[in-house]
Amino acid sequence: MKLPDRVTMCEVGTRDGFQIEPDFIPTGQKVDVVDALSDAGVPRIEVTSFVHPKVVPALRDAEDVMARIKRRVGTRYAALVPNDKGASRAVDAGVEAIHTVLSASESHNLANVNMTIAESIEKLRGVFQIAGRAKLPVVSGISTSFGCPFEGRTPIAQLESVVRRLVDLGASAIGLADTTGMANPRQVTEVLEHLMPRFPGIEWTLHTHDTRAMAIPNILAAMALGVTHFDSSIGGLGGCPFAPGASGNVCSEDLVHCLHSMGIDTGIDLDRLVAVSKRVETIVGRALPGQIVKAGKWDRRYPLPDGVAARLPQRAS
């Protein structure tokens, strides 16, 4: 398997994860988590979302969070926006990139944002104009890129049509999202082999959910084709409230551990990242799906049981 020497990860837990927590997470705790992620060397963070507070009350403090975080050189701080009003707020708050999202599936887009795909594209036109004036890159995420819980597998031609419209608007990066964990490595390979030659110069990102324990295999398939940008969520937080069966995103520390075990650099301090995950568990008040927090790194060693050491064959000096 041909794999890259380095990948770039974008942490989405403080947005994708915190937005669906049943209890409001205090602003100070959100800021502490973002700062700790920065200190761990995370290169990109989707900090929050500038959506109407009535729609996502959990992120009603977006401006305050952006104002209070410590900006680390080497980390890019982004926010998700739904429309031109959100984009204006994000620009005023000092984001360094704007993220958008719509679905490749008409039914999911209607369930998620109460608009058809065409209506969403038109709504995003103003976002791209604002981002252009502010000279900010736009990363356009596409939910249900591989499958929809209402319609089944997403046809590649349908996905390509959505990608083309976003690229025509000015997207510099496209994020393919496996919203409910329906994708498999062969499908990921087929989709990327189809799309990547048709859109040269686009930065491709994979946004995976681990609903069926396929997130890391799908990431490995994308890496084999040269994709080097991936979203992840601390502790495996997250899910989509408008997609039945969706569970959390691929766990950040588990993915970093996997990559580092294979000699692939991320620029992230894994020990510090694990500490952030433990901190998030105390904030949300429950154990999270991540495995490295429980099992430790692959090179963890345990003391021998009583009596075993004396019976081990002696190695020749």
Dist. CA 89–CA 97, nearest whole Å: 13
- Residue among 47, 104, 107 nearest 71 (CA): 47
**DSSP letters of 66-81?**
HHHSPPPTT-EEEEE-
> Left (φ > 0), alpha (ψ -120 to 50) or beta: where does 81 sit?
beta
Identify whether the C-beta of residue 67 lies closer than 8 Å to the C-beta of residue 50. no
Rounded to the nearest angstrom, the gap between the alpha carbon of residue 44 and the centroid of all alpha carbons in its chain is: 10
Region of 11 (left: φ > 0; alpha: ψ -120 to 50; beta: rest) is beta
Residues comprising the chain, all counted: 317
- Chain Cα centroid distance, residue 272: 19
The answer to whether 204 and 198 are in contact (CB under 8 A) is no
> CA 109 to CA 101: how far, in whole Å?
10
Between CA 110 and CA 114, with CA 112 as vertex, the angle to 5 degrees is 40
Amino acid at 299: D
Q: How many whole angstroms separate alpha carbon 180 and alpha carbon 242?
A: 10
Say which of 10, 148, 240, 251 is annotated catalytic.
240
Residue 284: closest CA among 237, 251, 241, 252: 237
DSSP label of 239: -
Q: Would you say 89 and 128 are in contact if contact means Cβ atoms under 8 Å apart? A: no
Confirm whether 258 is a catalytic residue: no
Catalytic positions, please?
Answer: 240
